[in-house]
Structure 1
Amino acid sequence: MHYVYILQSAEHPDQFYTGLTNDLDRRLAEHNRGHSQHTAKFAPWTLCSCHGFTTRERAVRFESYLKSGSGRAFAAKRLR
């Protein structure tokens, strides 16, 4: 299973991060330990939304959409 997830910073609630993984628990722990330079300064993170896909291709397409302008608007209105 492949997961597209949205994280929200606990200390900076206006900061969100969208990512893709096949091991959600491991990836969230990595974000919270500062292993990603893009998310380290806003840790700790909480899981805001998670969506599972059976194929990586579909997950990648959905992640790309969520990172687009219209996808960010959709996520703000429907997924957070």
Structure 2
Amino acid sequence: MAWMYILRCSNGAFYTGSTAQDIEARVWQHNEGLGANFTRKHRPVELVYCETWDRVDDAYTREKQVQGWSRAKKQALIDGEYGRLPALSRGRANSRRGAEE
């Protein structure tokens, strides 16, 4: 089993990661300064979202997808507002903005 996860850092920023470890152990590592350089500088962190995957490479692919999302789109995912995700796509927002200008 593997995980894709989102942490909320002490400065309010989101950190997106993936791991094949137990998720609680990975969050502990981040809080102990043993995780990513970014979270080391912005501790403590709080787990706000996670997904399970059968394979770590699938969790990593999902991590990279979510990393590219806007803060608003990540927040909608965290809040379980899945119906809002398509409207929050950067591509859709940019194409609408271009049509309005």
TM-score, scaled to structure 1: 0.81
Alignment gaps of 5+ in structure 1 = none
**Which has the bigger relative contact order, CA under 8 A and spacing at least 6?**
1
Q: What is residue 79 of structure 1 aligned with on the other side? A: 78
In the TM superposition, what is the alpha-carbon distance from 1:58 to its structure 2 partner?
1.7
16, 19, 24: which one pairs with 1:21? Answer: 19
Structure 1 runs of 4+ with >2 Å offset: none
Separation in 1, partners of 2:29, 2:56: 20
Deviations 1:4-63 (A, max 9, x none): 000002x32x21111111221111111001113221111111110010001223212111
Number of residue equivalences: 77
TM-score, scaled to structure 2: 0.66
RMSD (CA atoms): 1.7
Larger helix fraction of residues: 2
Percent identical: 31
